[in-house]
């Protein structure tokens, strides 16, 4: 890539996000830990510094270009190596984050990152979204729930919407135009009390690949029967 390393700071500043020295150091330490732990476990296929900053960090933060996340609570479902929630948390330290991932090794990595970066109000929970969403402390609770690269929208709705409080938002971070997925998810959204609010298209600044942020309003509490038993949403998606 032919850009200077300062692009990250400058492009975020253009979006009204001014990063302090400490925040820039947190991103750099996060990058180093990601690459270091990636040698022992599968966290990401992207390890080149500039690419991590663009395709993981910048892409994650782009959620806040469209949604005001300051001081809000966010459930990140299937966060993997911490995307999108940890880059958002670094930029907006007053957010409250709850991460769920089914792979315990990734949760251990995330706990380590949270500790090393000195982040507070980040809870990392090992488990399946379908099970964790049934616990009263997480159900219908968060201002927002999000997921990036986890499943198709009809499945994601069942993973994510149960975490969102009434009048909160479910934000699905997708790549190419999601028109087909939106049609496929009609019944799922309806049954899980979601209503499409907006789709925001974006391109990554250098690689120029497409991104689409699907924003869904939660219009009522989650019906008792959802989410179904762990594994079922993926095996038998609502159609």
- 1 membership: H or E segment, kind and range: none
Using CB under 6 A as the binding rule, whether residue 129 contacts ligand SAM is answered as yes
Using CB under 6 A as the binding rule, whether residue 232 contacts ligand SAM is answered as no
Identify which of 79, 71, 116, 117 has the alpha carbon closest to the alpha carbon of residue 98.
Answer: 79
Using CB under 6 A as the binding rule, whether residue 149 contacts ligand SAM is answered as yes
Using CB under 6 A as the binding rule, whether residue 17 contacts ligand SAM is answered as no
**Distance of alpha carbon 217 from alpha carbon 236, whole angstroms:** 24
Binding mask 73-92 for ligand SAM (x = CB under 6 A): -----xxxx-x---------
Kindly provide the b/e burial profile for residues 39-62, where b requires at least 16 CB atoms within 10 angstroms of the residue's own CB. Answer: eeeebbebeeebbbbbbbbbbbbb
Among the listed residues 74, 110, 150, 172, the single contact to ligand SAM using CB under 6 A: 150
Q: Are strands 164-174 and 142-148 parallel, antiparallel or unpaired?
A: parallel
Using CB under 6 A as the binding rule, whether residue 102 contacts ligand SAM is answered as yes
Residues 156-195 contacting ligand SAM, CB under 6 A: 159
Using CB under 6 A as the binding rule, whether residue 214 contacts ligand SAM is answered as no
**Distance of alpha carbon 124 from alpha carbon 101, whole angstroms:** 8
| Binding region for ligand SAM (CB under 6 A) | 78-81, 83, 100-103, 106, 128-130, 148-150, 159
């Amino acid at each position: 890539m032919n850009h200077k390393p300062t692009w990250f700071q400058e492009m975020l500043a253009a979006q009204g996000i001014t990063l302090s020295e400490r925040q820039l150091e947190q991103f750099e330490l996060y990058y180093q830990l990601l690459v270091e732990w990636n040698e022992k476990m599968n966290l990401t296929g992207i390890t080149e510094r500039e690419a991590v900053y663009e395709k993981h960090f910048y892409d994650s933060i782009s959620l806040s270009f469209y949604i005001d996340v300051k001081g809000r609570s966010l459930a990140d479902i299937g966060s993997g190596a911490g995307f999108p929630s940890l880059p958002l948390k670094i930029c907006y330290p007053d957010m409250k984050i709850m991460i769920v991932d089914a792979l315990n090794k990734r949760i251990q990595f995330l706990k380590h990152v949270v500790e090393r970066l000195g982040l507070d109000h980040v809870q990392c929970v090992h488990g399946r979204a379908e099970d964790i969403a049934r616990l009263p402390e997480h159900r219908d609770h968060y201002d927002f729930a999000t997921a990036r690269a986890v499943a198709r929208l009809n499945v994601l709705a069942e993973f994510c919407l149960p975490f969102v409080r009434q009048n909160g938002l479910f934000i699905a971070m997708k790549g190419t135009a999601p028109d087909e997925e939106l049609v496929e998810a009609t019944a799922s959204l309806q049954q899980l009390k979601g209503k499409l609010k907006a789709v925001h298209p974006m391109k990554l600044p250098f690689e120029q690949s497409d991104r689409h942020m699907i924003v869904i309003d939660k219009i009522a509490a989650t019906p008792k029967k959802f989410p179904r038993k762990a594994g079922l949403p993926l095996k038998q998606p609502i159609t």
